[in-house]
Chain A
Amino acid sequence: MRDFAYFAPSTIEQACEILQERGDGAKLLAGGQSLIPVMKMGLSEISFIVDLKRVADLTYIREDKNEIAIGALTTHSEIAKSELLRSALPLLAETASKIGHTQIRNRGTIGGSICHADPAADLPTTAVALNAMMVLQGAKNSQRQVRAGQFFRGVFETALEKGEVLREIRFEIPKGASSAFLKLTSPIGGFALVVVSCLLWVDAGYCKKASIAIGGVTETPFKAIKSEEYLSGYTLDDTRIANAADKSLEQISIMQGLGYSQEFVERIIKVQTKRVLHRALARSEKGE
């Protein structure tokens, strides 16, 4: 690992200032479950680490009217175990419970995972399905908000500007929706090949609305709008679900270098999308 300087500010303002001063060589540490391996592999020219652990009040899960607000340093374990999230945002809790291994979930944070923007990560896909809002803080306490769909810009690239910190992620509570999350990894605990998150608003088998996001196979998680449209306004049966899953392939161009043939990746996307839809539908029938 290359030498680096380390700084642990006690406020977000200080963190923003340092990021602004140091430019590209500076990087936020928010759990370190991706950053440290990247540094150990020498893949990143990081000379200055800004550790957020001393910043107060970045770890919380709060209900705020129709929304849930989560502090950026909240760990995957905390999200997975939160009673509030399990009832109000089960998709997020389910996703967090499937990340890596126990040790990774105990250290890794939602903000860290989202800002790292790894195409194979789990949370970005679910954030897109849930249409999450990223609350970004910049220099001099300036704040702006960016939707997940616009936040992920490329492989390891986000809408964060120089000197900005993701401080909170806000989710609208999807009232009446059933959801499911599914990923295929090899081996278990390894990086995912395909990640699918979905929400279905179903009433007695009739689909009012659907939200489907697919990750792992494209540079950023994508919204399977064609599949969503194909489902919305119809009664869901096996054929409609299978066809909707097939439609997910119409709008994507699969990344190179996944280590598998295009044909295999396409089959896995279809199967996983089909299965995740069935799972969400089954949950709606059970009233979950």
Chain B
Amino acid sequence: MSSILTKLRPEIDVASYKRIDGFERVSGKANFCADWRLPGMLYGSIITSNIPNGTVTRIDTESILAKEGVEAVVTCFDDSTNWSAGERLHERKLFTINPKFLGDCIGAVAAKTRDTAQEASAQAQVTYEELPSVFNLEDALKLDAPKVWPDGNESVITYCYGDIDRAFRESNESFERTYKTSRVHPASIETIASLAWWEDAGRKLVVVAETQAIHNCRDGLAEDLGIPIENVRVICKYKGGGFGNRSGVMNYDLIAAILSKKTGKPVMLEYTREQDFVGLHTRWPTNMQLKVGVNTKDGRLLALKLNGYVGLGAYTRRPKQLPNFLGTSAVSYFSAMLTEEHTVYTNTPTTGNVRSPAGIQAIFAVETMIDEIAFSLKMNPLDFRVRNVRARFPELKEHFTSCGLLDCFEIGSEMFDWNRRWRTPPSRAEFRSNKEKWSGIGVAMSNWHASLGKGEARVSIQKDGKVKVSIGVVDIGTGAKTTMAALASETLGVPIDEIEVIWGDTDMTPPTPGESGSKTTAIVGTAVTEACRKLNDRLARISDPKEDRNAQKLQEIMKKYGQELEEYAITDPHLPNGKKRDSFGVHFVQVDVDIETGAVSIEKYLAIHDSGRIVNHLTAASQVKGSVMMGIGMALTEELRVNPDYGSFLNSNMMNYKITTHSMAPNVEVKFIEIDDPYGPKSLGEIALPASLPAIGNAIFNATGIRLREIPFTPDRILLADS
């Protein structure tokens, strides 16, 4: 074990920069979208469908306009703008005549005050012709089920690698289990808002959006409104949580633009928290049937078959990207896998990518299943995992650009003192003995793809020696601004407080693909480093290259040189054929389960990650902690309940939809295994989430002997599972 520990390179200077924008964020100086006020600004509010499926026959716009303070109303009868990013397979209108879920947008109002706008939209008189609806997966799959889209509710996607038939033939035993995940909402603290106005005699659109991707948002606005890209400017300086929901243009951005065009005034469109729950997509609820082939003689996992049903709601956002189970950790264990995925439409609100999309569901299933098999084989679940990963390791090393998975397991095991603490779960009789609390430990791992792609950055040194870094990122809460400044700081050799970051405005920054898919540090960071290297080359030509660089020296050089230096970098690395790039994480958790109330508390949490090089340890550790908090919420409390009669949500507010609170939050210990990857930093934000669900579930099993196969693990599920 000690040989592995020496790999941790304690001599490396661990950079832990505090956020360069920390003060403005905590002092309230940071302006989020809904904080903006402009002279003459109107407020917008959407009119939504009161039926889950059917046709709108009339909207009484006269009575809406008659209300004092209302300045404009747009409905599905007078605007047919297509929201191209709104549905992956079908056409989705901004305002639909054919609402497909209760809450679908059919119009919008602009008024002088927020209250007037909200009242006017809520009181809109709408008549409908209602059609039969279908709200759950099982019903939607029936032959005579109402069709949400004309071509049917179900489609099937398959994916495989390896020789699945042979792998099952070589297995002497197979295990079958079914796992379910619930509908979960990202519940960002910042709710939906968009502020739009038109400049330059109505030619140029400016949108203050709450987006994860200013450039994608701009491109989408231009495409859907039919105007040139250069005539759209998108600004987002601060974002209160993204989680994959806003990685392109959103319908509310388009609606604000349309209302502003119509009134000639700036329009702030805001959603209430309840509208936010319905208007932003949720995770896909899933029902996953797994079959695993095992050679029980040597404890080897051989084959995995996953047959999954995925609830799409009435629409699923993210064009061209299917919900998929490919992002699973399966490749680290199995030489062969087959997934068959049935996506199913229902008349319920929209679904789509939410942090660690689709992988999180599959990783919950796979990592729980592996724990179940280890128990059947009477093996320590950590040893069982390590044995299988080690057997696959020669292939994994070839398959991935770098792989620190075994290190994560081994170092984590030592830090958590796994082998001393682990014991078999209590028998039923033991469990029911007169003891209030049982304690248990669990482990789970995950892989996550680490994207590469085109990154762009502009870096300049001003005449006074100050450095400006211009990047098209938003900083959705990850600390991306600080990370970029840190990269410029280390490459140019000047202190971080001499660096100014220009961000969050499409007119001022180079294009970027947006902050999603855990790729900003890897993609944009590489471009920042490259631009700084180019500047270093130029500085070397105009000064003594051997000179140590500091702020004062830089100032002197620039004074002598007399003009600004600027470099632009576009980096677009590609992996060699067949290679993959993944990050790895292993989570260890200890839970206490109150056997009389079923309440679970997280007592200890350790997250070990290989995300390649860590640029800023402080923000990186915060990313992991944030993801774990989200995971604890999904594991223990979060579930959007669907009304069986209307398909609407029963708990679409923060009082009844329970996210992790500070008082529930354990201290999360984070450790990074910094293994060099030839392509630089790997992904981090998303990988830190999926392992938390199975790790907690496995710990509950270890504590109680109760195996839960459906999240969330609520007290009643735990208590009633034992009765």
| A and B from one complex | yes
CB-CB under 8 A from B653, the residues of chain A are: 41
Expressed in whole angstroms, the minimum distance between the Cβ of B182 and any Cβ of chain A is 14
- Can you list, as one digit per residue, whether each of B598-622 has a CB less than 8 Å from chain A (1) or not (0)? 1100000000000000000000000
Report the nearest B residue to A3, measured CB to CB.
Answer: B115
Among A37, A263, A272, A275, point to the contact of B720 (Cβ < 8 A): A263
Size of the chain B interface, CB-CB below 8 angstroms:
21
CB-CB under 8 A from B714, the residues of chain A are: 186
Q: Are B658 and A263 in contact (CB under 8 A)?
A: no
- Can you list, as one digit per residue, whether each of B637-648 has a CB less than 8 Å from chain A (1) or not (0)? 100000000000
Given A3-B115, A184-B597, A271-B597, answer yes or no on A264-B658 (Cβ-Cβ < 8 Å). Answer: no
Among B655, B661, B664, B720, point to the contact of A264 (Cβ < 8 A): B720
Instruction: Bin chain A's interface residue count.
Output: 20 to 34
Q: Are B115 and A187 in contact (CB under 8 A)?
A: no
Q: Are B715 and A186 in contact (CB under 8 A)?
A: yes
Among A3, A37, A187, point to the contact of B658 (Cβ < 8 A): A187
Cα of A267 to Cα of B721 in the assembled complex, Å: 13
CB-CB under 8 A from B723, the residues of chain A are: 263
Q: Are A190 and B658 in contact (CB under 8 A)?
A: yes
Q: Are B664 and A188 in contact (CB under 8 A)?
A: yes
Cα of A37 to Cα of B545 in the assembled complex, Å: 65
Given A187-B658, A260-B716, answer yes or no on A271-B663 (Cβ-Cβ < 8 Å). Answer: no
- Can you list, as one digit per residue, whether each of A253-285 has a CB less than 8 Å from chain B (1) or not (0)? 000000011011001100110010000000000
Interface set, chain B 646-666, CB cutoff 8 A to A: 653, 655, 658, 660-661, 663-664
- Can you list, as one digit per residue, whether each of A128-144 has a CB less than 8 Å from chain B (1) or not (0)? 00000000000000000
Cα of A97 to Cα of B719 in the assembled complex, Å: 28
CB-CB under 8 A from B719, the residues of chain A are: 264, 267
In the complex, whether B596 has a CB less than 8 A from a CB of chain A is yes
Q: Are A188 and B661 in contact (CB under 8 A)?
A: yes
CB-CB under 8 A from A190, the residues of chain B are: 655, 658
Cα of A260 to Cα of B597 in the assembled complex, Å: 13
Q: Are B596 and A271 in contact (CB under 8 A)?
A: yes
Among B655, B663, B716, B720, point to the contact of A188 (Cβ < 8 A): B663
Q: Are B715 and A187 in contact (CB under 8 A)?
A: no
CB-CB under 8 A from A264, the residues of chain B are: 598, 715-716, 719-720
Expressed in whole angstroms, the minimum distance between the Cβ of B600 and any Cβ of chain A is 10
Interface set, chain A 227-274, CB cutoff 8 A to B: 260-261, 263-264, 267-268, 271-272
In the complex, whether A1 has a CB less than 8 A from a CB of chain B is yes
Expressed in whole angstroms, the minimum distance between the Cβ of A278 and any Cβ of chain B is 10
Given A261-B716, A264-B716, A267-B719, answer yes or no on A186-B655 (Cβ-Cβ < 8 Å). Answer: no
Q: Are B599 and A184 in contact (CB under 8 A)?
A: yes
Expressed in whole angstroms, the minimum distance between the Cβ of B119 and any Cβ of chain A is 8
CB-CB under 8 A from B636, the residues of chain A are: 187
In the complex, whether A189 has a CB less than 8 A from a CB of chain B is yes
CB-CB under 8 A from A37, the residues of chain B are: 655
Cα of A264 to Cα of B596 in the assembled complex, Å: 10
CB-CB under 8 A from A1, the residues of chain B are: 115
Cα of A261 to Cα of B716 in the assembled complex, Å: 8
Report the nearest B residue to A190, measured CB to CB.
Answer: B658
Among B119, B596, B637, B720, point to the contact of A186 (Cβ < 8 A): B637
Report the nearest A residue to B641, measured CB to CB.
Answer: A259
CB-CB under 8 A from A272, the residues of chain B are: 597
A selection of 16 A-B contacts at a CB cut-off of 8 Å is: A184-B597, A184-B599, A186-B599, A186-B658, A187-B636, A187-B661, A187-B664, A188-B661, A188-B663, A190-B655, A190-B658, A260-B716, A261-B716, A263-B720, A267-B719, A268-B715
In the A-B complex, the 4 residue pairs with the closest CB atoms? A188-B663, A264-B716, A271-B596, A187-B664
